[in-house]
Amino acid sequence: NAGVMQNPRHLVRRRGQEARLRCSPMKGHSHVYWYRQLPEEGLKFMVYLQKENIIDESGMPKERFSAEFPKEGPSILRIQQVVRGDSAAYFCASSKRGPGRRQPQHFGDGTRLSIL
Amino acid sequence: GQQLNQSPQSMFIQEGEDVSMNCTSSSIFNTWLWYKQDPGEGPVLLIALYKAGELTSNGRLTAQFGITRKDSFLNISASIPSDVGIYFCAGQKGAQKLVFGQGTRLTINP
């Protein structure tokens, strides 16, 4: 069984460019979560999506960041006009059912974003 | 917002020793999860706890959901080199977002 697949694994962008991070959830999972991790820190929740809907985006900055999970295809985390402070590891997780339904989240191996 | 305090931040032990780490919260959770993260990889789920007082094992790992619902413990018995990594606790209340601790970095001297 394929796990959560994220690509690219590493992404380098210059300040002002756009970064697109992709996540394909585990087979049969329709709930996707994005997290951000800075070095030596834990993961911080950004956004929770269920097919075509954003359920909770309380952890995502209001500007420059957006997320989608279309009916077909992977979930996309998009960062516009990147700045140095966006450098981090971005992790995607998926679950079969939503939070609070005894469905633990399974994580991908992340995208390491570096801003020059 | 909710915060988890995980301790210790780092541990240096000898191979074969037992390990204990814990996580405390300022508020109640009804789900506790323990993950392990190796360098360059994503967190891998070790143990999931859904009931106060629950004690669950996964091989040499044992985790407990504290009675107060504000803490959880992870023990590793007879540590081996592949146990090296960063261990994260994560708590969840109802359908709210998952909150992670800062991690415990485990180093094992052979």
| Predicted confidence (pLDDT) per residue in B93-107, tens digit | 888 889 999 999 999
> Which token pair is B58?
């996964």
Tokens 């931040």 locate to B9
| Best CA proximity match to A90, nearest among A49, A60, A50, A51 | A60
At a CB cut-off of 8 Å and minimum separation 6, what does A26 contact? A1, A2, A3, A4, A94, A96, A106
B50, B92, B100 member nearest A43 (Cβ) = B100
Averaged pLDDT score across all residues of chain A: 93
* Nearest residue to A91 via CA among B91, B1, B45, B9: B45
SS3 content of chain B, % helix, strand, coil (to 5): 5, 55, 45
pLDDT of residue A2: 67
Q: B24 CA to chain A: closest CA distance, Å?
A: 15
Confidence of residue A40 (pLDDT cuts 50, 70, 90): confident
User: Which residues between 26 and 65 in chain B have a beta carbon less than 8 angstroms from any beta carbon of chain A?
Assistant: 30-31, 33, 35, 40-45, 48, 50
Greatest Cα-to-Cα distance within chain A, rounded to the nearest angstrom: 41
pLDDT at A66 over 90: yes
- Strands A53-56 vs A75-79: parallel, antiparallel or unpaired: unpaired
Tokens standing for residue A106: 């399974």
Residue B53 pLDDT exceeds 90: yes
With a cut of 60, say whether residue B1 has pLDDT above it. no
Determine the 3-state secondary structure of A64 from DSSP: coil
Is the confidence at residue B56, as pLDDT, over 80?
A: yes
